[in-house]
């Protein structure tokens, strides 16, 4: 046990990182993923979807005020939030699956922090040049040129940040209307506040915080250690092949020529040759960079590569690694896939089993029953009638046939009530039992209340009880 005297500073300053441009298959894949994810994010609110005159025509809409979530042909009511919970479970299990198979593939390719940082670095490179130019600019005095480049870069970042914050609010209101409102100053304060906050976070996280978010703020890297095992494909430096590193082509040196290409392209500013580490998001750019160098030095590719720990040990021992599919299709990932698929099937079945009309019943329990002047026993029930259709429907309310019981609706002469399109309606109903009927004299009897839309023949029922005289 020894107390280190080396690190007594209160803080560690952020080391500036200037990732170099790199090209290769992983980089190309990342460009495509970036284009796809950004397009999904920015364009989704603008997709239209006709749902008739009574409902919004935005394909994806989280309508907080109306308490509805619209997703293309699917409409979720608040009491159906389990669908969202199911999707979140699927998202969680999906992350388990991908992490156990491919390590931090989410972090490296699809995480918004990674995608937007990538976009911001792209802008930075366009404005200020590649790594060496940026390092020079960073060291240069604040003259007119540096100000011009910096301000240009920040301005472009700001435009992206505003568009990012702006796109977010379009998911919560009709996008074309909200855009006009935002521009003319008529939108709600919360809309401007959301745009402002998300603009600020995008600008700061993508432009300045970058790897700090992943290393210090994000809980995900900590969780992932538990999901990765020795069969996980992850970005690995083949130390047995590369070491001892050296610039000379001597017999004693390994394949690594210590050119620092892998370090220079790393957006996290780490050295993959130190082994797996918390800061590595497995974006695979070092693989592209190293493969390029290996090609030029006439060595086989893959000094840095996707590799499992078990394969690394096999290679060190001189035996052949197993094919990648054997690492991906193993019991653990198949169990994750099975759970993921099961939840998905349950959700889909539940989605198609949803009734177009629904009724819930709450018996009024204070008092349990009312005695009318002629001795009739009356029970009262609060019905909630849900019309999930895009048009108004007449709900006819009845009891399972029992001549001794009679039903009546509060405030209505008839036994039907119109429920507006996509609405819930509360309706109090009364059920009467003749003075000496079994229902009136038994403490409790079962009751089923039916609702029926006589036009479409949609039916629903709710079970409850009828309380008779307590003797």
Partner 1 sequence: MKRKSEETNDPGTTGHVWDGIEELNNPLPRWWLWTFYLTIIWGIGYTIMYPAWPLITGATPGVLGYSSRAEVRADINAVNAANAAIDQRLVSAPLASISNDPELQRYATAGGGALYRTYCSQCHGAGAAGGPGYPNLLDDDWLWGGTLADIQATLAHGVRWEEDPDTRYSQMPAFAEILSAEEIGQVAEHVLAISGQEFDAAAEAAGKTVYADNCSGCHGDGGKGDQGQGAPNLTDVIWLYGGDREALTTSIAKPHFGIMPAWSQKLTPLQIRQLAVYVHQLGGGQ
Binding residues for partner 1, rule: CB under 8 A, are 1-7, 9-15, 17, 135, 209, 212, 216, 263, 269-271, 364-367, 370-375, 378, 380, 410-411, 428, 430
At closest approach, how far in Å is the CB of 139 from partner 1?
11
At closest approach, how far in Å is the CB of 278 from partner 1?
11
At closest approach, how far in Å is the CB of 372 from partner 1?
5
Long-range contact pairs involving 160-164 (C-beta distance under 8 Å, separation at least 24)? 160/116, 160/119, 160/120, 160/123, 160/202, 160/206, 161/198, 161/199, 161/200, 161/202, 161/203, 161/206, 162/195, 162/199, 163/42, 164/41, 164/116, 164/198, 164/199, 164/202
The total number of residues written for the chain in this structure = 471
Q: Which CB atom, from 7 or from 457, has the smaller least distance to partner 1?
A: 7
Beta-bridge mates of residue 61: 70
At closest approach, how far in Å is the CB of 177 from partner 1?
24
Give the whole-angstrom CA distance, residue 165 versus residue 116: 12
Q: Which CB atom, from 342 or from 426, has the smaller least distance to partner 1?
A: 426
At closest approach, how far in Å is the CB of 226 from partner 1?
16
At closest approach, how far in Å is the CB of 9 from partner 1?
5
Segments in 280-330 forming alpha helices (H):
285-297, 309-316, 324-328
Bridging pattern class, strands 444-453 and 234-237? unpaired
Give the whole-angstrom CA distance, residue 168 versus residue 148: 30
Q: Which CB atom, from 26 or from 432, has the smaller least distance to partner 1?
A: 432
Give the whole-angstrom CA distance, residue 357 versus residue 391: 12
DSSP designation for 273: G
Q: Which CB atom, from 167 or from 261, has the smaller least distance to partner 1?
A: 261
Q: Which CB atom, from 209 or from 307, has the smaller least distance to partner 1?
A: 209
DSSP designation for 461: E
User: Could you tell me if residue 258 is left (phi over 0), alpha (psi between -120 and 50 degrees) or otherwise beta?
Assistant: left
At closest approach, how far in Å is the CB of 453 from partner 1?
21
Please count the other Cβ atoms lying within 10 Å of the Cβ belonging to residue 293: 19
At closest approach, how far in Å is the CB of 95 from partner 1?
26
Q: Which CB atom, from 311 or from 422, has the smaller least distance to partner 1?
A: 422
Q: Which CB atom, from 3 or from 331, has the smaller least distance to partner 1?
A: 3
Q: What is the 3-state secondary structure (H, E, C) of 82-151?
A: HHHHHHHHHHHHHHHHHHHHHCCHHHHHHCHHHHHHHHHHHHHHHHHCCHHHHHHHHHCCCCHHHHHHHH
Q: Which CB atom, from 99 or from 202, has the smaller least distance to partner 1?
A: 202
Q: Which CB atom, from 295 or from 370, has the smaller least distance to partner 1?
A: 370
Two structure tokens written together for 170: 């379009």
């Amino acid at each position: 046990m020894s107390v280190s005297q080396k690190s007594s500073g209160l803080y560690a300053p952020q080391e500036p990182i200037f990732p170099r441009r790199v090209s290769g298959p992983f980089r190309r894949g990342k460009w495509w993923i970036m284009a796809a994810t950004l397009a999904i994010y920015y364009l989704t609110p603008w997709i239209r979807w006709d749902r008739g005159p009574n409902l919004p025509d935005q394909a994806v809409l989280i309508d907080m005020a109306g308490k509805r979530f619209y997703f293309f042909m699917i409409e979720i009511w608040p009491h159906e939030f389990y669908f969202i919970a199911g999707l979140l479970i699927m998202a969680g299990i999906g992350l388990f699956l991908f992490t156990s198979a491919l390590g931090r593939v989410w972090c490296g390719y699809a995480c918004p922090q990674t995608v937007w940082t990538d976009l911001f670095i792209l802008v930075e490179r366009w404005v200020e040049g590649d790594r060496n130019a940026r390092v020079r600019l960073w060291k240069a005095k604040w003259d007119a040129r540096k100000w011009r480049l910096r301000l240009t870069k920040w301005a472009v970042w700001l435009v992206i940040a505003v568009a990012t914050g702006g796109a977010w609010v379009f998911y919560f209101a009709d996008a074309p209307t909200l855009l006009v409102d935002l521009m003319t100053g008529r939108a709600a304060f919360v809309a401007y506040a959301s745009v402002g906050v998300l603009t600020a976070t995008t600008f700061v996280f993508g432009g300045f915080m970058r790897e700090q978010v992943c290393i210090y703020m994000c809980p995900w890297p900590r969780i992932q250690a538990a999901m990765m095992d020795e069969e996980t494909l992850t970005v690995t430096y083949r130390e047995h092949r590369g070491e001892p590193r050296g610039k000379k082509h001597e017999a004693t040196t390994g394949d690594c020529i210590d050119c620092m290409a892998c370090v220079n392209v790393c957006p996290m500013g780490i050295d993959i040759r130190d082994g797996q580490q918390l800061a590595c998001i497995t974006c695979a750019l070092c693989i592209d960079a190293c493969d390029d160098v290996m090609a030029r030095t006439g060595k086989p590719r893959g000094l840095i590569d996707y590799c499992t720990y078990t394969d690394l040990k096999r290679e060190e021992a001189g035996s052949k690694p197993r094919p990648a599919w054997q690492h991906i299709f193993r019991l653990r990932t198949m169990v994750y896939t099975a759970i993921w698929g099961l939840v998905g099937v349950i959700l889909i079945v539940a989605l198609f089993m949803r009734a177009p009309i629904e009724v819930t019943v709450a018996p009024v329990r204070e008092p349990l029953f009312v005695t009318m002047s002629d001795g009739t026993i009356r029970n009262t029930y609060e019905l909630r009638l849900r019309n999930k259709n895009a048009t108004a429907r007449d709900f006819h309310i009845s009891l399972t046939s029992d001549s001794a019981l009679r039903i009546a609706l509060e405030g209505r002469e008839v036994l039907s009530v119109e429920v507006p399109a996509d609405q819930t309606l509360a309706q109090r109903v009364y059920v009467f039992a003749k003075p000496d009927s079994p229902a009136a004299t038994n403490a409790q009897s079962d009751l089923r209340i039916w609702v029926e839309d006589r036009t479409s023949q949609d039916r629903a029922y709710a079970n409850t009880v009828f309380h008779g005289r307590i003797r």
